[in-house]
Amino acid sequence: MSKVSIPRTAIETQEFVPNASNALLSYANIGDAAPNAPENAFITPNRFPRFSWSIGPYVRTSFFDPDRPIRADVGIEVSALYRFAPGWVVGGEARQRIWGNIGDSRRTSNSVLPHVRTDAVLYAREGDTTLENLYINKQWKPSADTFARITAGYLEQMYGGLSTELLWKPADSPLGLGIEANYVKKRDFNQRFGFQDYDVFTGHASAYYNVGNNYVAEVDAGRYLAGDYGATFSLTREFANGWKIGGFFTLTDVSSEDFGEGSFDKGLFFNIPIYGNFINYAWRPLTKDPGAKLNRKHTLHDLLVRFRPLN
C-alpha cells in the first residue's frame, strides 16, 4: 500500500520518549511502494493460502412504508474468505432468514424506469435461504501510484457479473482519481444462482479529495443501473477510531416527475470497524430506481485509506 521510511537517528533519540510512536510520525516519510513482482517481494512464511470464516446474526431493515413505517428481517449469516495467493481472494456469504416482515409489504413498484432497486420487496418475499454474494477478486498495483481490481461472480443481493476498477492515488497527494466499469445482470428473486433478463453496463469516473480535518469529498459521474446518466456528490468524515459518517445526493437525467416523491436520490451512511472489517449502512428516505449504483465489495479507495493516513 505504501512505503514508510524513518531515519535511524530518529528511532535512537525517541527510544525512551513517552508516546514515542506519535513522536516518530513527524520524522516518517510515507511514499509510494513499488509494485514488486512476487519473486522479488518478501512474503511472510505460511501466509498463503489461508482460510477464514464467521457466523453470526444479521438484520436487514426497511423504513417509511406507509402501512408499517419500520420493517425488518433477522437471521443467521455465514461468510467465508479463502486467500490462496497475494492479491487473490474467493469469498461468499449465505443467509438464512429466521423472522421478518419486509416481504409482507403489498406495495409494488410503479417506477417508469427498469426496476433496478424497487423490487426489494420481491427479493425479501422469495428469499428465505439466500446466497448474498459469491465472487473471486484480484487486486494488484500496475505502477507505484496506481491500483487495480477485478471482481467476478454474484456481486451483491440483486446483481452478478464483472466489475473492474483502476485508481490513481499518490501517497503524498490529497487527490485521487478512479474509473470503474461493470457489466451486470439482475439476479432471480430467490437469490440463488439464476438470473433474470435485465442486464446493463454501468460505470463511473470518480474524484476524491481530502479537504482537511479528515473530510473527504467525492464526485462520481457516469451511468447508473437503470441506464440513467448523472453524478453523485458525497462528503465523508473519518474519525481516529475508524468510524466514518457522511452524506450524499445524486442528480441524473431523470426528471423529478419521473423520479416521483423525493425528486432525487439522497441519504446518509456510516461505516463501523469491527475486528478488521466494516459494518456499512446507508439510509435513504426513499428507495428509487434513478441514481442506483452497484453495491461493491473491496473498492480500492475505501481499502486504501485503511492503510494510509489521510492527507
Q: What is the mean pLDDT of the segment spanning 102-120?
A: 85
Average model confidence (pLDDT) for the chain? Answer: 87
Q: Long-range contacts for 57-60 (Cβ within 8 Å, ≥24 apart)?
A: 58/95, 60/100, 60/102, 60/124
Q: What is the mean pLDDT of the segment spanning 221-234?
A: 95
Does pLDDT of 50 surpass 60?
Answer: yes
pLDDT at 256: 82
What would the pLDDT profile of 155-173 be if each residue is shown by its tens digit? Answer: 999 999 999 999 999 988 8
pLDDT-derived band of residue 16, with 50, 70 and 90 as boundaries? confident
pTM: 0.85
pLDDT at 303: 81
Q: What is the mean pLDDT of the segment spanning 148-155?
A: 96
Instruction: Please give the Cα distance from 287 to 260 (Å, whole number).
Output: 11
Give which of 146, 196, 126 is closest to 300, Cα–Cα: 146
| Type of residue numbered 131 | L
pLDDT at 22: 80
Question: Which of 81-85, 267-271, 301-305 ranks highest by mean pLDDT?
Answer: 81-85
Phi, psi for residue 104 in degrees, rounded to 5: -75, -15
Question: Residue 32 gets which letter from DSSP?
Answer: P
Cell triple for 87: 492479491
- CA dihedral 79→82→88→89, nearest 10 degrees, is -10
Residues of the chain with pLDDT > 70, as a percent, come to: 92
Q: What is the mean pLDDT of the segment spanning 208-219?
A: 91
Q: What is the mean pLDDT of the segment spanning 252-273?
A: 82
Identify the residue with better confidence: 109 or 306.
Answer: 109
Instruction: Please give the Cα distance from 87 to 252 (Å, whole number).
Output: 35
pLDDT at 38: 56
Residues near 147 by beta carbon (within 8 Å), at least 6 away in sequence:
139, 140, 141, 166, 167, 169, 300, 304
Question: Which of 33-47, 102-116, 132-146 ranks highest by mean pLDDT?
Answer: 132-146
Helix%, strand%, coil% for the chain, nearest 5 = 10, 50, 40
pLDDT at 309: 59
What would the pLDDT profile of 274-297 be if each residue is shown by its tens digit? Answer: 655 556 677 777 788 999 999 887
> Concatenated DSSP letters for 103-131?
GG-------SS--SSTTHHHHHHH-SEEE
Residues of the chain with pLDDT > 90, as a percent, come to: 48
* 279: β partners: 272
Q: Please say whether the beta carbons of 74 and 62 come within 8 A.
A: no
